[in-house]
Amino acid sequence: MKFNSSYIFVKRSIPLYFILLGIFVVASASTDHFFTSENILNVLVQLSPLLVVACGQTFVVLLQGIDISVGAVASLTTTVLALGSFEHFFGAWGPMFLIVVLGVAIGFLNGLMIYKGVTPIIMTLGSSVLVKGIALGLRPIPGGNVSFTIAEFFCKELGWIFSVPFLISITWFSILAFLLHFTRFGKYVYATGADRDVSNKAGINTMKITILAYILSSVSGVLAGLLLVGQIWSGDALIGEKLSLDSVTAVLVGGTTFEGGVGGLFGTLAGAFILSIMSNVLNMMNIFSYYQYVIKGLILIFSIFLSLRLSSRKEKSIR
């Protein structure tokens, strides 16, 4: 099976990995503790939820959309898993089935309403508020009892720099990369994102593509929530809030743009690594968290600016 048109972007994302290498070298030189197995292990564990969410977010952005609700879905996952009553009736892994169903339902609702004409940011912001309200109702303050079996599994270290969270995130990336770059579904995502009307005329079920993309994004939020449980061993209705914008930033830094049909997961992988390493270095340098938000905000604004510039150039070239 051949690459689809996204192969062009795979080649375009190569410079990002040189930038990533440069950041890694500078980070190693700036502090003695960065290039240690313990810290690299920590970076990869912290990276995992962001990478998982950013992978799902990539599909949505390729469709000229955005999913603000994914962070709330991750938070809801932790609160559901922290309800001891569910474990009593359904066993240790029973609540996972429930939260996956909820994730699929949220993604389906987002995708359907957005296809019907609701602006993506408005729809997903609304569902984010709804899901956040449910999460806060279940767990007003952080706490609860997560199954020891689940929490232990999602925080397990495998030796040297490897861990279960990192392997799960890389596996999820590989699955979605295969879907996007090697299947008909991936081709249809690019086509729908580039021009939905033309895709409809070509016989592509763009409603199905849109709904599936948002389901993938929401399920990515569920998986990220499971990885967060491995870090906090409890439920927290707000723990995933930063993932929404961080994932968008990673996607945009990776070169996927809001113009639709341009980008891919190989760039998103580099973008997630860049953000994670930067956060780690800033923490090691004792930079206050609110300064880190300023830096991330500037990166996001700059990425959006570049995305809009590329989009305007494309429109001018078409004219």
List of the chain residues with pLDDT < 50: 1-4, 315-319
The pLDDT score that the predictor gives to residue 301 is: 81
The pLDDT score that the predictor gives to residue 131 is: 97
The pLDDT score that the predictor gives to residue 13 is: 80
- What pTM was estimated for this model as a whole? 0.89
- The answer to whether 68 touches 240, Cβ cutoff 8 Å, is no
What's the sign of the alpha-carbon dihedral 161, 164, 166, 170? positive
The yes/no answer on whether domain 7-13+41-306 falls in CATH 1.10.10 is no
- The answer to whether 220 touches 232, Cβ cutoff 8 Å, is no
- The answer to whether 252 touches 304, Cβ cutoff 8 Å, is yes
Q: In whole angstroms, what is the distance from residue 279 CA to residue 59 CA?
A: 25
Alpha helices in 183-240 (DSSP H): 184-194, 196-201, 206-232
The pLDDT score that the predictor gives to residue 16 is: 85
